[in-house]
Amino acid sequence: MSLASLILALVTLQRLGELVLARRNTARLRARGAIEIGARHYPLLVSVHAAWLIALWTWGRDQDVNLAALSVFVVLQGLRLWILATLGSRWTTRIIVLPGEPLVVSGPYRYLSHPNYAVVAGEIALLPMALHLPVLALVFTALNAAVLWIRLRAEARALSAVRGQLARAAS
């Protein structure tokens, strides 16, 4: 097995594990009365990420590895873990709003309103670059940007609703 295949296997397992965790957290949040916002775009988001992995496996599994780009990708995994730890049971791949719960403003959320999106954008560009696939980096960065544009609009609506609820509860 090449180093590139090992890296791709680890990233694939990570993503599958995150989907399991997200599904579990989503079910628990819904059981507590949470609602999903922007569900219509979710299959598009999953499709872009799945296509990214498939493209990496197709063209990158036997490539040499750029260790500098891989190192930055590994740093992003540390940031990803910080995000997961900060959100805990509220982390999910969907936009889930739990009425009455305040927004998370600790951890990386002190510095960015959407740190996970920043990490994912970096990953989508860096892993193909680590495998010497700059065209894939460009194509999937553009696709991810398009999906994020849709998602951020839906999330802004959800966050606005949460802020409105919190303001009404405080008055």
Report the candidate in 5, 15, 50, 38 with the shortest Cα–Cα distance to residue 144: 50
Q: What is the mean pLDDT of the chain?
A: 93
d(CA 70, CA 72): 5
Task: Give the pLDDT of residue 163.
Answer: 57
The reported pTM is 0.89
Task: Give the pLDDT of residue 156.
Answer: 86
Helices (H) and strands (E) in the chain, counts: 5, 2
- Could you give the domains of the chain? 3-89+97-170 (1.20.120)
d(CA 31, CA 17): 21
Residue range 92-115, pLDDT digits in tens: 999 998 888 888 999 999 999 899
d(CA 14, CA 119): 14
Residue range 44-61, pLDDT digits in tens: 999 999 999 999 999 999
Task: Give the pLDDT of residue 142.
Answer: 98
Q: How far apart are the first and last CA of the chain?
A: 61
- Per DSSP, what are the bridge partners of residue 37? 95
